[in-house]
Amino acid sequence: MAKLSILDYLNKLIKSEITGDMHTHMHYPTPISKTLDINIIEAGLGTATLQINATKEKHGNQQGTIHGGLLCELADAAIGTAHSTVVQEGETFTSVELKINFYRPVFEDILTAKASPLHSGKNLSHYQCDIFRSDGKRAAMITSTVMTLRGDKAKGR
């Protein structure tokens, strides 16, 4: 079996080049991303871009717009994907804080989330994620603090 770095695995996943003998130390695609049909479209060291085709039938709220919780999940997935490219085998991570600002409503649309680090520390890293509608306008901006876990704290995750 070929064990790949997270970044190499993600880039092969994006290009549909994953074969049965390839794996990495984290699980991609994640179950939540499969459930919501969130796709990774670009990954770099500490960065990630994800997309979702948001529909009122599947992701709508009582007002007829896309539920804000979906934007939170899309951003959290993008930030988690970005951070996974910088953690080492034997390390995991967890979100410590996530804050979202909503700028524009989203109706049925393809949303693109772009995550990148504002600060990359040994234990705590701070990310920004911008979510854009297909018209190029920012729908939301998210910041999140992520804690890297090591040793016993990383076990069982």
Map 12-39 to HEC letters: HHHCCCCCCCEECCCCCCCHHHHHHCCE
100-137 burial code (b ≥16 CB/10 A, e <16) = bebeeebebbebbbbbbbeeeeeeebbbebbbbbeeee
Average the pLDDT over 1-9 and give the result.
Answer: 92
We report the CATH number of the domain holding residue 145 as 3.10.129.10
Q: pLDDT band for position 152 (50/70/90)?
A: confident
Q: 146 has which bridge partners?
A: 95, 125
Which pTM was predicted? 0.94
Q: How far apart are CA 138 and CA 45, in angstroms?
A: 23
> Is residue 157 over pLDDT 80?
no
Secondary structure element (H or E) that encloses residue 92, with its range: strand 92-102
pLDDT digit string, tens, across residues 41-70: 999 999 999 999 999 999 999 999 999 999
Cα(17)–Cα(146) distance, integer angstroms: 30
pLDDT digits (tens, 9 = 90+) for 76-96: 999 999 999 999 989 999 999
Query: Does residue 154 or residue 65 have the better pLDDT?
Result: 65
pLDDT at position 154, please?
73
- Its domain, for residue 146, covers 2-154
10-27: pLDDT as tens digits: 999 999 999 999 999 899
For the chain, what is the domain count? 1
